[in-house]
Structure 1
Amino acid sequence: MKFVCDKNSLSEGINTAIKGVSSRTTLPILQGIKLIAKNDKIKFIGTDLEIGIECEVPALVQQEGEAVIPARVFSDLVKKLPEGEVEVVSDTNNFIKVVCGDINFSLSGSNPEEFPEIPEVSREKSFKLSQSVLKDLIKKTVFCVSEEQTRPILTGVLFEVFQNEIKAVALDGFRMAIYSYKSEEAFFEEEVEKYSLIIPGDTLEEISKILKEEEEDVYIYYTSNQVLFQINNTKVISRLLEGTFINYNAVLPRDFKTEVLVNKEIFMDSLERASLIAESKNNLVKFNIGDNFIIISSNSEKGSMSEKLEVEVKGMLLEIAFNSRYLLDALKAIDEEEVVLYFINSINPLIIKPVGEKEYLYMILPVKLN
């Protein structure tokens, strides 16, 4: 294999494919990126067997071929090269030469025939979203996926694709996020109510790093157990999580007795101050909701704090406590200036909604007060 490629294009390919490479793998071959030089393009492939990422960039291919090169070393090397053209050559013993001007590197690669094949995903079923919308769907939900493997289904985000709506739902047993995006264009033509995909949270976090805040479309192809995201010159292939997702509608509280309208930034600032003192085990902060105020307080061995915020309150007065980290995660995902907090009593979940057009909802379970 022999090709010449601009340093910036080379860097783009490596930095995209490396998102599929796991540093924790026990298989040495998976610590590498596979390069395929063909038809004046270089394809970069990284995989950890759960997710596969492919990126194509233009290059002058002088000899077609394949190579597997250590991902981290190659990435760090290319970052430190000067601007200009880079020549990459591999031989039959899997040694790779990298030449840029008077700079010469030689790296030991792996046999490309031992690199696992990335599965092909059927393109029969698909829908498309702009990059900015998909990025927003991920941002507003993925932080709620479970980090525990005891219930694998909860480590993913449920995407429910209706005719003119996509709902993204994530929950971990303590909190839940639901974000609904409506479109004038139909997402599919078939006579079915909806399609459901449960996409691993890790996959979505890597996709979010590739997506840009723009209106260019992402094409999403899926089967019963796999999904493919086509983002310009990049493909991300992942398995889907199998099983039945929790009936999230059944756990949503209703018949609220108290509503609190609050400025998001002021509320966040107060919670962050309370978190400095809160007990580290469950980051407990307490709310005392009065006629037109909310007192946010926390105490631990570190000390205590209390702060009174002027807010709009409708309904019953209330005392309730929460894990402040869960509250802050939700507020950071909300773009609007004001939020409404909906309460039933001190033992039922809190619902947070932004004041605005977006249909976003966040639910959090309270912490029991002694």
Structure 2
Amino acid sequence: MPDYERLLAATASLDTPYAIVDEEALWANAADLIARADGTPIRLATKSVRVRSIIKNALTLDGFRGVMTYSLPESVWLADQGVDDILLAYPTVHREALLELAAKDHRLAAITLMVDSVDGIDYIDHVLGAGHPTINVAIEVDASWRVAGAHLGVRRSPVHSKRDVKKLAQAIVERPGFDLTGLMFYDAQIAGLPDSSFAVRTVKRRSNAELRRRRKRIVKAVGNLTDLRLVNAGGTGSLHVTGTDPSITELTAGSGLFSPTLFDGYRAFTSRPAAFFALSVVRKPTRDIATCFSGGYIASGQAGESRVPTPVWPEELSLLDAEGAGEVQTPVQGAAARRLSIGDRVVFRHAKAGEMCERFDEVAVVTSGGHVVRTPTYRGERKNFG
């Protein structure tokens, strides 16, 4: 269990609400990710961090190589800050950022765009015009498992089969102004699904077997058309599985650094919670309820209990079913609430990783020695990438 009293003592001078990162747990988690990757380089998913100093420090570790971004304006910004290996994980239609990309050689060298259709290539041509400089692109392949008419996985790329991918790859190779350099396979039904039951573990195992066979065929087919410099796959929840596939050149992870509550249900690995936020008690409506200021930091995804923040200190606190985490106030209940007074602090964990950082201008990084380094988030650097 994290030493919450140490974290609160170190940050006692800060006014709430504020975000905390336990540096010791953060780098222990990084070491665990590297160990589970077992020699396969990890591309750091920036959306799961959104703190530039932590991203920069992670990239100094032997085992991390390059970043996976979520927007083109973010990619351009990071390239201008010196990051030289950037894979944009999602298609873009951001016109200004496309023009900025094409305007500087260092951006063109650093950034690889993601596409999944000829329409996406056409759009880039339309924005940049004829004769634009060569743009590095990768194809995202649908990594979902299609079985018995069901679609197990997320709805991302429309290209799924070897035939689909080869057709798109051929069109890109023949198009002036583009260099097809990579493939990406995000196996959400494996990496993002907790090991909650025998049935789930069976689905994950069988899905991985199907994807591994299909990925091998796709990589070979596209490799006959172009020089593939990267084949990206996996996520925090599947490093130990996907990393054994010889068809890939790299893995992706990010959430595992912070270890939010959505990762508590995995059995194949254990990481240490490293990111938190603290709220102050501002009222006591009853003896058994303490109400904190702010806290309604709900995670994205299908709405439900798994997306709400979790009070973790003092122990044995819970949200009220009728109110949950509120926009301005968050009541908590339980035996521990009886001991809370006005001004006391309650520590919460977010359901997701980087999304917490969109709520704060900075994070208080607490070192093993109890010192605090206050470092800006993307938001604190006045960056909002959607």
**What is the TM-score when the length of structure 2 is the normalising length?**
0.24
When you count helix as a share of all residues, which structure comes out higher? 2
Q: Which has the higher contact order (CA 8 A, sep 6+)?
A: 2
TM-score normalised according to structure 1 size? 0.24
- Which structure has the highest strand share of the two? 1
